[in-house]
Structure 1
Amino acid sequence: MSFKIIAAVAVALAGSPFVAGAAFAQAPECGAIQKTLQARKDLVAKANAASNSKKKMTPQEACALFGKLQSNGAEGLKWITANKEWCSIPDSFAEGFKADHIKVGGIRTKICGIAAQAAKMEAQARAQAQNGGGGGGLLGGPGLTGAMRMPQGAL
């Protein structure tokens, strides 16, 4: 399920205005956002590649990727807020960037929740294996215990 989410957000973000890279060149410091936008574009490309690849990301890898994307968005929002007037950043760009950042945050929360659940299940499986297998029953229960005697006499 998380891979469908990655694919959906990667496609959604690929069409966003910040990925295309707006040119803020009124003042030399207005070009500083380009580094952040390029990093974001690279992260989105990585998510796209993962969603189209035969080897899918693990939930932990996806969580880390979306963590970087969210961090990048926070950095971009901070810069946009501080330089919006000076660099004549259009309202539509700022609002679109903010909306995408919020969307990434929601997706990151879901994916990291899945990653945490997977890690918990792996830890439980390891603990169960270390405690002598702990299972073996058909439905994962303790299974049958005791000895079974072979019938005596003529068969």
Structure 2
Amino acid sequence: MTHLRSHLTAAIAAAGIFAAAPALAQSSSCQDAQKFLSERQGLIQQINKLGGEGNKKKQIDPRAACGIFTKLVANGETGVKWLNANKDWCQVPDQFAQSFTEDHKRAQNMKGQACTAAAKIAEMQKKAQQAQQQGRQGLLGGGGLTGSYTMPKGAL
């Protein structure tokens, strides 16, 4: 996570490069970098909040992480496509493009891990719910053993 934060800082600095460069030498697509970089910053902040902002003992809910990493990966795909199309025209430093691509690959890996864990949790919950429902029904489909049995009233 801390490595991801350092690259985020570099991304924000690079966004400043895009804003400070002369407008005549750039196309309007150079301004598009700020959109996906600011969105990426917000997604990384959400991931940091899941982890408790430096609290390493807090468990991260894989279901929430899966959703955020899915958005982060989609954002990264947009960023990589933008870099491939506009890197030279917008004068993006090679180091930034390389670190962004590496971060995107790490995000894809983390997404896979989080979503796999989320799927396992969902499967375990489903099995537990099924076991609980089967536990309510006895062997013969009734309410199971209750500890008492009422005798029928009337003549035997």
| TM-score (ref. length: structure 2) | 0.73
Superposition pairs of residues 4-83 of structure 1, within 5 angstroms: 9=1, 11-16=2-7, 17-22=10-15, 23-24=17-18, 25=21, 26-27=25-26, 28-52=28-52, 57-83=60-86
SS of 2:51's equivalent in the other structure is helix
Identity rate of aligned residues, in percent? Answer: 35
| Equivalence for 1:90 | 93
Which region of structure 1 is more displaced relative to structure 2, 107-116 or 22-31?
Answer: 22-31
CA contact (8 A) 2:14 2:96 kept: no
The gaps in structure 1 that reach 5 residues or longer are: 1-8, 135-144, 148-155
| Count of residues paired in the alignment | 127
Q: Does 1:119 align with 2:125?
A: no
User: 1:47: how far off?
Assistant: 1.1
Q: Residues 70-108 of structure 1, C-alpha deviation per residue, up to 9 Å, x if partnerless?
A: 110000000010001111111111100000000111111
Q: Secondary structure at the match of 1:132?
A: helix
Per-residue Cα deviation, 1:23-45 (whole angstroms, up to 9, x for no partner) = 22441321111010000001111
Deviation at 1:56, TM superposition (A): 5.5
Q: How far did residue 19 of structure 1 move?
A: 4.0
8 Å CA contact 1:69, 1:104 repeated in 2: yes
Change in CA separation of 1:125 and 1:35 when aligned onto 2, cut-off 3 Å: same
* TM-score (ref. length: structure 1): 0.74
- RMSD of aligned alpha carbons: 2.3
Measured in 2, the distance between the counterparts of 1:30 and 1:37 equals 12
Contact 1:21 1:34 in 2 (8 A): no
Q: Give the letter for the 1:41 counterpart.
A: Q
Runs of 4+ in 1 over 3 A off after TM superposition: 53-57
- Residue 48 to residue 37, structure 1, CA distance change in 2 (3 Å): same
**Distance (whole Å) between structure 1 residues aligned to residue 87 and residue 51 of structure 2:** 34
In structure 2, C-alpha distance between the alignment counterparts of 1:73 and 1:47, rounded to whole Å:
15
Deviates more, 1:15-24 or 1:84-93: 15-24
CA–CA distance in 2 between the matches of 1:45 and 1:59? 16
